[in-house]
Amino acid sequence: MASDSPASWSSTTLTKGSRPARIAQLVAHEVFRDARVLKEAGSATSAGADVKIFSRALQGAPTKEKHIVVDGRAVLRVPGISAYSVVPKRLLHSLRRGSGMSVDAAGHISAEPDTLNSSLLQPLTAKQRAVKKLKDAGYRVANTIDSPLGLASWWMRMVAELKAFEPDLIHCNDGNTLVPGYLAARALKVPFVYDSHELWLHRATKKNRIMAPHVEALYERVTVPAAAGVITVSDSIARWLKDKYRLRTLPTVVRNAPDPIDDVPGRLRELAGLPPEARIISFSGGLNPTRGVDIVVRALPLLPDDVHFVMLGFGSQDYLLELRSLAASLGVADRIHVVGPVPSGEVPGTLSDSDVAYVFLRPDCLNHEFALPNKLFEAISAGLPVVASELPEVSRLVSEEGVGRVFSGEDPRELAKAVASVLDDGDGFRQASETARVKITWDAEAAGLIRLYQNVLSRDGLSKA
């Protein structure tokens, strides 16, 4: 757990010999909304390194340029071979929308924000459901073929680009960048580090992946022990990786804390159209069963009538209809509000006028059980009290910082008790969160990253973690 102040590394200079170290950040998707990768690149740049992000160019992105700048970071975008490149964009988006999805400018799939609370959001007719299923099947079959083709071709192209850049260090973000990072590092005789944003082999994936889990397990088993350093996001994942791959040292934990935000009045109340006296349970992120938003809806009848649930996020039409139907059956339809997503950097400031933040992740895979969700850090950054699910890492942080309550299981009555407890002592929990937000920042977390970089760059040869 990092707790260093920025002063402990701000004078560090990342060099190789007498020149700035060249660091390649490798990520297998568009980087526009990947706050962690952008922050890591920014911290390394502040420490004197020459950093370039190598990303995968995806269809539907806001640019077709190969060389771009995102938040002041140099990015080189490389596409893989895609069967979708010959499919007209209108038809591709029609298939996706037929699956209850739409595609925004960066290729992210979400519900349309302006229809989330619309009366036009009505159940599909039998004919519409049949057409949707047909489109959904076609899109997903095509995607099953296209995904491995696109990723494998991107790997090979990325090796060539990395060789041309001649970095001193390659930073592989997530398991799907390990193959090109490992191959390029061996060819160039330079070290690479593995940044496991999640427990890759035990993340939540579709059940119909037959070969992919075995391929992923194979390339992790070959590459991770060869890494010069390993980074991850929680202590539990760090211990798992060390034991699984018999690493010499425990991976460096760099948590996904956001950049500090200025004090802002918040705008969630305005977005939801709620009066000052209303008390708000807030949620940010994807609206799906894994996030347990239905538990809050079920808990609302057990809480005073002035308590509302405001969701700052997006979800499929089918799931939003389910939530609406559930709320109506419980008599709380007027107390749930979906206000659509905002850019990730604006989330803490938008949430800050709510009364308690809800953070839940269903432990349906080991990755979720070991998680420290970004939403927890966004809530603390907003200075909010928290009510969270009883996951090991989440419980530890909430308890250590005194920022809220945790509840066990998925019982709405337990959640209602936890929310009531936080609302009853809102000032005390908010003060604890205000204290925590000062020390849990990206600058503090980045100290571990910079130390690891410095250590790896100072070694001779390809020392292993």
pLDDT tens digits along 237-258: 999 999 999 999 999 999 999 8
Dist. CA 206–CA 242, nearest whole Å: 27
Q: What pLDDT, on the 0 to 100 scale, is given for residue 103?
A: 43
Residues 297 and 242 in one domain: no
The answer on pLDDT for 262 being more than 80 is: no
Residues 272 and 403 in one domain: yes
Mean pLDDT check: name the lowest of 29-43, 87-101, 102-116, 360-374.
Answer: 102-116
Beta strands across the sheet bearing 192-196: 67-70, 73-79, 50-57, 22-27, 169-173, 192-196, 229-232, 252-253
400: tokens are: 């250590």
Please report, rounded to a whole number, the percentage of residues in the chain having pLDDT higher than 90: 65
| Residue of higher predicted confidence among 344 and 32 | 32
How far is residue 295 from each of residues 326, 415, 416, 431, measured CA to CA in Å? 10, 8, 9, 27
Q: How many domains does the chain have?
A: 2
Dist. CA 340–CA 142, nearest whole Å: 29
Residues 72 and 219 in one domain: yes
Residues 148 and 221 in one domain: yes
For 461: left if phi > 0, alpha if psi spans -120 to 50, otherwise beta; the answer is: left
Q: Report pLDDT digits (tens) over 11-49.
A: 778 999 899 999 999 999 999 989 999 999 999 999 999
The answer on pLDDT for 5 being more than 70 is: no
Residues 308 and 173 in one domain: no
How far is residue 445 from each of residues 6, 56, 283, 440, measured CA to CA in Å? 9, 26, 24, 8
Residues 300 and 242 in one domain: no
Residue type, 60: G
Examine residue 106 and state whether it is found in any structural domain, yes or no: no
Residue type, 109: I
Examine residue 94 and state whether it is found in any structural domain, yes or no: no
The answer on pLDDT for 416 being more than 80 is: yes
Mean pLDDT check: name the lowest of 33-47, 92-106, 319-333.
Answer: 92-106
Q: What pLDDT, on the 0 to 100 scale, is given for residue 92?
A: 58
Q: What pLDDT, on the 0 to 100 scale, is given for residue 258?
A: 86
CA torsion, ordered 440, 191, 58, 319, to nearest 10 deg = -40
The stretch 389-415 carries a mean pLDDT of 95
What Rg value do the Cα atoms of the chain yield, rounded?
23
Residues 159 and 239 in one domain: yes
Residues 307 and 405 in one domain: yes
The stretch 64-92 carries a mean pLDDT of 81
Dist. CA 194–CA 220, nearest whole Å: 10
The answer on pLDDT for 137 being more than 70 is: no
Mean pLDDT of the chain: 86
For 296: left if phi > 0, alpha if psi spans -120 to 50, otherwise beta; the answer is: alpha
The answer on pLDDT for 303 being more than 90 is: yes
Mean pLDDT check: name the lowest of 79-83, 183-187, 250-254.
Answer: 79-83
Please choose, from the candidates 229, 112, 97, 258, the residue with its C-alpha nearest in 3D space to the C-alpha of residue 171.
229
464: tokens are: 């292993």
The answer on pLDDT for 361 being more than 70 is: yes
289: tokens are: 């069963």
Q: What pLDDT, on the 0 to 100 scale, is given for residue 270?
A: 93
CATH, residue 24: 3.40.50.2000
Domain that holds residue 27: 6-83+142-257+444-458
Name residue, tokens 């939540």.
204
Residues 215 and 69 in one domain: yes
